Amino acid sequence: MNDSHSAERTIGLASAVFILVGYTIGASIFILPGQLAAEAGPGAFVSYLIAGAIAAIAGVVGAAIGSAIPVSGSLNVASSQVLAPVVGFMGVWATLVAVAVAISLVSYGLADYLAYFVPGIDRFSVAVVAALGFGLLNLTTIQMAVRLQVAMTVAFLVILFGFGVGGVVHADPALLTPLMPNGFGPVLAAAVPAFFSYAGMTVITEIGGEIKRPGRTVPLALLISFVIVALCYSLVAFAVPALLPWQSLAGVDAPVASAARVFLPAWTGGAIAIGAIFAAATSINAMLLIHSRDVLAMARARAFPAVLGRRNARAVPVGAVALVTGLGVLGTLLGATIREYAVLAVISVMLLQVFSGLVVLRLPRALPEESKRAEFRLGRVGRALFGGLTIASSIVFMVLGVIDSPRHGIAYLVVLALGIAYYYYRRAALARQGHDLDRTLRSGLSAER
């Protein structure tokens, strides 16, 4: 498929790392550690380590898929070709559910820290304005969005690492005993919402068509980004309950800023708040940047209406950006807590990880040529180990998430059922027009962004 507006490969390794780190580290790390420590005790950092281990395994699987199929939306393309076209479509559907929830969570987090400077602001209004504002930014060129992403990411990384290292140095050992006052159960349960903070680790594969040398760059970007993110999270999650009594954290809206005041001057609360705002902003920006390309791909394959596949004169997918922005705004109407938003988003991400595990298990047999050309690939044992662990751990986390929030779990299943029904309705409608949707998705045309 030739298109004068097809995306060029303009994103190098450094930009890919900044996009991925900026996407992954959002406002949740400034809020969730306090809430999770209030449930699990000082050992909440163990919850982040468990979540990080699951994310690392999923990252290896994502790198193998992204290297073998170095196009935008590689997981969805691979799912269509290796598993079934409906699975590739449902990957996009589930992603959009997760993104709608995640944009809402992060936008509310941004509002909470903006209230540090403007007390009494309306959280809902700020969340809506944040989503709309970054939607407008993403109607400019991708280079403009990436430059802003780099600047904001550097700013909040300096702040977070400064707090994390300083917090460890000034930790009060007495506050860390006992490490798990309520036992290991709450620590394991807290790993589910904690995973939300890692949930974006493999999304760099979604813009593989715009990355230079994706077969090499995607795995390297995942490795570098994971090290940065895991170190940052571990430091922050350890420092918060090491500076403030874990029993007091349930009612603290800005735990990182509050903990920083234990060993830093009072004015640093403002710096922490700025860091949280930047972190939230980069996540919203990256979600709109990356997942509008998922919508575009499915629109070009005709799974979604054609209007969502149109680009403007600057090759920006206007309809797709508008849809993802609108979903983010719609998600704010749920009125859920930060923790509930996190659990619901994690359930969606775990479904995608099940798909990725199944894909990597069958990849060499289903796509032998692509597998041979991959610069990063797993052997038979590696595929069985990482693919199997990804599937098993994701199912466990999905079950834990549904147990944690049954109402949202049931609602999520209903939304998935609607997605399947829509796909088969759309396929039948297109068949009457002489278009084979299954064949289109199997051919990988959805990858042409």
Output the pLDDT for position 198.
87
Phi/psi zone of residue 120: left (φ > 0), alpha (ψ -120 to 50 degrees), beta? left
Convert the pLDDT of each residue in 396-416 to its tens digit: 999 988 888 888 888 889 999
Output the pLDDT for position 8.
59
Cis peptide before 255 (omega within 30 of 0): no
The separation between the first and the last C-alpha atoms of the chain, rounded to the nearest angstrom, is 10
Q: Which of 32-46, 61-75, 426-440 has the lowest mean pLDDT?
A: 61-75
Residue type at position 432: R
Query: For residue 79, is pLDDT > 70?
Result: yes
Query: How sure is the predictor about 90, in pLDDT bands with cuts at 50, 70 and 90?
Result: very high
Pick the residue with more confidence: 4 or 89? 89
Query: How sure is the predictor about 113, in pLDDT bands with cuts at 50, 70 and 90?
Result: confident
pTM greater than 0.85 (yes/no): no
Query: For residue 39, is pLDDT > 60?
Result: yes
Q: What is the mean pLDDT of residues 25-29?
A: 78
Query: For residue 447, is pLDDT > 60?
Result: no
Convert the pLDDT of each residue in 231-290 to its tens digit: 999 999 999 999 999 999 887 767 888 898 888 888 778 888 888 888 788 778 778 877
Average pLDDT, the chain: 84
DSSP bridge pairs for 211: 11
Q: What is the mean pLDDT of residues 192-210?
A: 75
Output the pLDDT for position 72.
67
- The whole-angstrom separation of Cα 16 and Cα 201 is 12
Query: For residue 65, is pLDDT > 50?
Result: yes
Pick the residue with more confidence: 12 or 414? 414
Q: For 86, how many CA atoms within 13 A lie in the half-sphere containing its CB? A: 13
Query: For residue 134, is pLDDT > 80?
Result: no
Say what angle helices 338-366 and 44-68 make with each other, to 10 degrees: 30
Query: For residue 448, is pLDDT > 50?
Result: no
Residue 315, burial from CB neighbour count under 10 angstroms (0-12, 13-18, 19+): middle
Output the pLDDT for position 427.
96
Convert the pLDDT of each residue in 213-222 to its tens digit: 776 787 888 8
Output the pLDDT for position 310.
81
Query: For residue 3, is pLDDT > 50?
Result: no
